[in-house]
A = this chain, B = another copy of it.
Amino acid sequence: MKIHVAKEILSANDAVAAENRAAFDEHGLLVLNLMASPGAGKTTLILATAQALGDGVRPGVIEGDLASRIDADTIAARGIPVTQINTGGSCHLDAPMIRTALPQLPLANLDLLFIENVGNLVCTAEFELGAHRAVVVASAPEGHDKPYKYPGMFARADAVVLNKADLLSVFDFDVDYFRRGIEMLNLNAPIFPLSSRTGEGMEAWVEWVKKQVEER
């Protein structure tokens, strides 16, 4: 019974995700679904990426949180179009929430839309939103064992950012062990160790994002 209802919900979600995708494609927009643990640094990564991309790529953001407008306010203060979704108790964004948010954004004037999902390394992976790429943002303080403990998330990533990489040594973080854990699940996802705060390692990630936008 539980499983039957869950399947119905997922299939209804997928139908709306397909509509979202069509709306994105109509505007020639590349959409990234950023998923991570709470506090991995998704917002800081979005801001650093937008700045590094420069004027050639016009970004927008959908912010997902259970509560508060903290991240949306931070992004709006930098002049980037943003809308906030508060999920109430829900542990993930879903496609209908995204559909509701779209009229709040000037889609025709954007090239790249970041969807910052709720901080959750499990549930967010189960709901398609209509995005073109799933990006998992891990971070050095969380430890190198995350791909082994949360395989579902890393298995479906199109790219993995390892944020706060300026602090790898502080946390005895073994990048090879982390990398092997991901490759065991997913041979296709490039891995980008970087620091959104110091700018270290940003180039390769920004090149990857730029390439996805250009291939739209």
Complex Cα distance, B167 from A106, in Å, reads 40
Using a CB-CB cutoff of 8 Å, which residues 95-154 of chain A contact chain B? 118-123, 126, 139, 141-143, 145-146, 148-152
Assess whether B37 is in contact with A146, with CB atoms less than 8 Å apart: no
- Docked complex: A68-90 residues within 8 A CB-CB of B: 68, 70, 89-90
A interface secondary structure, majority? loop
Contact with B along A145-185 (1 / 0, CB 8 A): 11011111000000000001001001000000000000000
User: For residue A149, which residues in chain B have a CB less than 8 angstroms away from its CB?
Assistant: 38, 65-68, 70, 119
Docked-complex contact B164 and A141, CB < 8 angstroms: yes
A211 on the B face (CB < 8 A): no
Q: List 14 A-B contacts (CB under 8 A).
A: A37-B38, A65-B149, A67-B150, A67-B151, A68-B149, A89-B122, A89-B126, A91-B120, A91-B123, A119-B121, A120-B122, A139-B141, A141-B141, A141-B167
